[in-house]
Amino acid sequence: LNEKGQHRAAQRLLVVANRLPVSAIREGDSWDLRLSPGGLVSALLGVKQNFETRWIGWAGINVPDEKGRISLTEALALKGCVPVFLDDDTVDQYYNGYCNNVLWPLFHYIGLPQEDRLAATRSMDSQFNAYNHANQLFAQVVFSQYQEGDVVWCHDYHLMCLPEFLKEMDCHMKVGWFLHTPFPSSEIYRTLPLRSELLKAVLTADLIGFHTYDYARHFVSACTRILGLEGTPDGVEDHGKLTRVAAFPIGIDPERFIQALETDQVKFHIKELRRFFAGRKVMLGVDRLDMIKGIPQKLLAFEMFLEKHPEWREKVLLVQIAVPTRTDVPEYQRLTSQVHEIVGRINGRFGSVTFVPIHHLDRSLAFHELCALYASTDVALVTSLRDGMNLVSYEYVACQNSKKNQGVLVLSEFAGAAQSLGAGAILVNPWNIREMYGAIEGALTMPENERNERQRHNFTHVTTHTAQAWADTFVSELNDTIVEAELRTLR
């Protein structure tokens, strides 16, 4: 309500991310729009009431013809989405190239592409030009949607130049930027050839957010060491201009999961799974098939566990759901083969005619199937080598609160979630296979009272630190920042 007691219109929030929450598939003259899984989509699905949200991004398809662009724009408008159109070459250079082959591995401590250093350096320059070009295309679409009073929230490493382009178009625009991956130590970040350009562009935003305090600290150190700016407790200062930098840990929409568990469809599915798994302990892994998720390490730890503990053979199984992503990138293709090879070897070594130790699925699951798996398994294995936050661990905790099941979360210390769920989970270093197999044993044999205690702790965290609270806090802090252009007029 405003001062006169009238209902105030909800604030308009323009959420800008590389991908829209839906993928478009062309079907003749019409479009099939499907929800695309991923951490950012899951989190923002939890951001409902308080804002009138418009989502701006790429729909995952090249639409060269004008007629198709108009009809897709109309179809997406019904879902509150506005498309950015990117051609195949831009997608290849900007998305597959600079985003997925340069920034993603660098931000997860894998480092820069090295196969042929000279060629990699040359292609990095042209990929950076495509990255800039794509960010400009995003800026044009944002500007076409922008109305005075809107708040613009840019997401992730794909759009680091976007705040600068937006501010050039309208210096009064309120712009926030949030990174969903880790921001690495400045010693890693400073290997990036065009390191200063990206930092300067991001610093034009009014508020910069990270999942954890450590990532925020790494960013501030990169700005002080590379740009020679001053780090303050509130952010980064450049000749009197302060850019706020802070930690805003993301969450999920726990109610979506808790309510799903009460539906007949999920209850039926849980019953089926329990019948199928009867008499055995079940461990679960749910990951995008990505090198950062530590899937081979998880499989090797399970193999060592079965090797060292013959008494557990045929008594425990691992369900590993691995959604393929970035399937055009050779490194991801190699990872898929590697995972299939290890799964085949373990199933060959420890399986029998009637028993398979690893159930590995290379596909996405429907929401009700995912909830049922979360609820009916005894242990979740989240073994990321690096992970901004990791929402799978939150979703598992949200689905484990029944008396029947108080599953144990084994969680990598290199996931941002280790800082929030660390007290309830068993923390592991995923590079240490021996430690991981010990954690598997600990999780499978943990007494009920300890399981309850740990789960209670984590459940409280997950249900109080929600996606809604995350977005509310970020946007209200962004609202509270005074745009630099306004400050100048005040001075």
Q: State the residues that interact with ligand ADQ by CB under 6 A.
A: 37-40, 42-43, 180-181, 250, 286, 288, 321, 323, 364-365, 370, 387-392, 395
CA–CA distance, 246 with 209 (Å, rounded to integer) = 5
Q: Residue 345's beta-bridge partner residues?
A: none
Length of the chain: 491
User: 167 or 218, CB closer to ligand ADQ?
Assistant: 218
Nearest distance from C-beta of residue 288 to ligand ADQ, angstroms: 5
Q: Residue 405's beta-bridge partner residues?
A: 402
- Contact, 142 vs 134, CB < 8 A? no
Instruction: Starting at the earlier edge strand, list the strands of the sheet with 408-412.
Output: 358-361, 316-324, 281-289, 379-382, 408-412, 426-428
User: 282 or 391, CB closer to ligand ADQ?
Assistant: 391
The H or E element containing residue 288 is: strand 281-289
Dump the DSSP string for 203-224.
TTSSEEEESSHHHHHHHHHHHH
Query: Is the Cα dihedral 132, 135, 137, 143 positive or negative?
Result: negative
State in Å, rounded, how far the first CA of the chain is from the last one: 32
Nearest distance from C-beta of residue 4 to ligand ADQ, angstroms: 39
Q: Residue 23's beta-bridge partner residues?
A: 34
Nearest distance from C-beta of residue 42 to ligand ADQ, angstroms: 3
Nearest distance from C-beta of residue 462 to ligand ADQ, angstroms: 13
State which residue has the least CB distance to ligand ADQ: 39
User: 38 or 68, CB closer to ligand ADQ?
Assistant: 38
User: 124 or 398, CB closer to ligand ADQ?
Assistant: 398
- Contact, 205 vs 183, CB < 8 A? no
User: 132 or 387, CB closer to ligand ADQ?
Assistant: 387
Nearest distance from C-beta of residue 117 to ligand ADQ, angstroms: 27
Q: Which two tokens stand for residue 459?
A: 């459940």
User: 119 or 366, CB closer to ligand ADQ?
Assistant: 366
Which of 274, 284, 252 shows the shortest CA–CA distance to 461? Answer: 252
CA–CA distance, 398 with 405 (Å, rounded to integer) = 12
Nearest distance from C-beta of residue 178 to ligand ADQ, angstroms: 8
User: 43 or 142, CB closer to ligand ADQ?
Assistant: 43
Nearest distance from C-beta of residue 342 to ligand ADQ, angstroms: 19
CA–CA distance, 190 with 184 (Å, rounded to integer) = 10
Nearest distance from C-beta of residue 335 to ligand ADQ, angstroms: 14
User: 62 or 325, CB closer to ligand ADQ?
Assistant: 325
Q: Return the residue matching tokens 């769920």.
A: 421
